[in-house]
């Protein structure tokens, strides 16, 4: 199995990068966060998961081993495929996601296209014991409230999510995070 690839990104697409590894190019599906930290023509190392299906072999890449481990936990849940898992991980960082799951915040997970209330409940149920030792925080709730406010103002969920990812974690409180996100969206 391919667990890690080091190479030079030669193409960046909104859903994937093409990584040239010593003359062999791999299409690697990545989250928006990974994509943002990837520069074309600059060597990068990605932790990878090879998803083998009847008619395809897809590679998913992550900046850290922790992100890969969380991805593999998600796809271990019946009904959650690699694309859905990557969508969930595109919401925010892994510590915030684990806090949402530990606090059983189903509404946070339903912000992902294709994840309904039943799927979110199943994810929380199956992962809560695996991540239960993590101390929950309120960061996911603040961001969820800010996303709701931004969408009410006419921004898309992805625009709101992307803006909030740029807001430093030191800024706390839904109102303060919303204010900073609005500043970023105005530029």
Q: Kindly state the percentage of the chain with pLDDT values over 70.
A: 95
Per-residue pLDDT, averaged over 75-103, amounts to 85
Q: Which two tokens stand for residue 23?
A: 């003359």
Q: Does 73 fall in a domain?
A: no
For residue 68, tell me if it sits in a domain. no
Q: Give residue 138's pLDDT.
A: 52
Give the residue-averaged pLDDT of 54-80: 91
Final residue in a domain of this structure, among 95, 112, 131: 131
Range of the domain at 24: 4-62
CA distances to 34, 62, 93 from 31, rounded to whole Å, are 5, 8, 10
Verdict on whether the full-model pTM lies above 0.75:
no
Residues 84 and 120 in one domain: yes
Q: Please give the Cα distance from 164 to 177 (Å, whole number).
A: 7
Answer yes or no: is 114 within a domain. yes
What lies within 8 Å, CB to CB, of 107 at 6+ separation is 120, 144
CA distance 73 to 27: 22
Contacts of 24 (CB under 8 A, 6+ apart): none
Highest mean pLDDT among 45-49, 80-84, 151-155, 158-162: 45-49
- Domain identity same for 8 and 58: yes
Q: Please state the rounded mean pLDDT for residues 147-154.
A: 84
State how far the Cα of 151 lies from the Cα of 156, in Å rounded to an integer: 6
Q: Are residues 120 and 146 in the same domain?
A: no
Decide if 47 contacts 79 (C-beta within 8 A). Answer: no
Q: Verify that 9 and 57 share a domain, yes or no.
A: yes
Examine residue 98 and state whether it is found in any structural domain, yes or no.
Answer: yes
Among candidates 104, 109, 102, which has minimal Cα distance to 133? 102
Question: Would you say residue 96 lies in a domain?
Answer: yes
Q: What is the pLDDT of residue 140?
A: 64
Helix (H, G, I), strand (E, B) or coil at 116: coil
Q: Domain of 127: which CATH number?
A: 1.10.150.20
Average pLDDT over residues 107-130: 81
pLDDT in tens, 168-179: 878 888 788 888
Domain assignment present for residue 173? The answer is yes
Note whether residue 58 is domain-resident: yes
Cross-strand partners of 60: 29, 49
Q: How many domains does the chain have?
A: 3
Place of tokens 């991540």: 131
Q: Which residues pair with 20 in a beta bridge?
A: 8, 25
Whole-angstrom distance, CA of residue 51 vs CA of residue 147: 31
The reply to whether 67 falls in a domain is no
pLDDT tens-digit profile of 16-38?
Answer: 999 999 999 999 999 988 998 88
Claim to verify: residue 117 and residue 84 sit in the same structural domain: yes
181 contacts 163 by C-beta, under 8 angstroms: yes
CATH number, position 10: 2.40.50.140
| Same domain, residue pair 144 and 111 | no
């Amino acid at each position: 199995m391919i667990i890690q690839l080091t190479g030079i990104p030669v193409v960046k697409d909104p859903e994937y990068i093409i990584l040239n590894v010593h003359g062999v190019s791999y299409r690697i599906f990545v989250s928006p966060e990974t994509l943002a930290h990837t520069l074309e023509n600059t060597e990068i190392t990605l932790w990878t998961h090879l998803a083998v299906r009847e008619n395809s072999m897809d590679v998913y890449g992550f900046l850290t081993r922790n992100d890969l481990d969380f991805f593999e936990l998600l796809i271990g849940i019946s009904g959650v495929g690699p694309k859905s898992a990557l969508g969930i991980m595109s919401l925010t960082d892994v510590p915030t996601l684990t806090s949402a799951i530990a606090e059983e915040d189903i509404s946070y997970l339903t912000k992902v296209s294709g994840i309904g209330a039943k799927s979110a409940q199943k994810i929380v149920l199956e992962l809560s014991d695996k991540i239960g030792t993590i101390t929950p925080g309120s960061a996911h709730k603040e961001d969820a409230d800010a996303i709701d406010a931004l969408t009410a103002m006419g921004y898309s969920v992805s625009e709101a999510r992307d803006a909030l990812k740029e807001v430093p974690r030191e800024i706390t409180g839904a109102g303060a995070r919303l204010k900073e996100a609005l500043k970023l969206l105005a530029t």
